[in-house]
Amino acid sequence: MTFYVFAGAGAALGAVSRWVLLGGFDSLWTLLLINALGSYALGVLTRRGASVFWTTGFCGGFTSFSAYMAIATLDIRYALLTVVVCVASAYMGLRGSCLSTPSR
């Protein structure tokens, strides 16, 4: 039960953060930026062993998979670009976090 409470609270914070960051800009490029930032953050947070509040919750609420899917059905190029950018962002987050974290 605690898992769901923390994930839900994180998702609420992530969704509000996305709404604030969008600030009325509702374009494909803004959505790509949001999803790339969320993917990068997820890479960093996963590497650091962050809680479900930040990973599943915040990053899940911050990114917008439903909007991506609606747009992807209209333009396959955008869909492929988003996948490449978000996977690269997550990889950079994982690698960057690894470089800044002392070895155990």
pLDDT band at 91; cut points 50, 70, 90: very high
- pLDDT tens digits along 34-59: 999 999 999 999 877 788 999 999 99
Q: Are 53 and 4 in contact (CB under 8 A)?
A: no
What whole-number percentage of the chain has pLDDT above 90? Answer: 51
pLDDT (tens digit per residue) in 15-34:
999 999 888 777 888 889 99
- Gap between the Cα atoms of 44 and 77, Å rounded: 27
Q: The pTM is what?
A: 0.77
Hey, what are 61's tokens? 């609420």
Helices (H), ranges, 1-104:
2-22, 28-47, 60-62, 65-72, 76-100
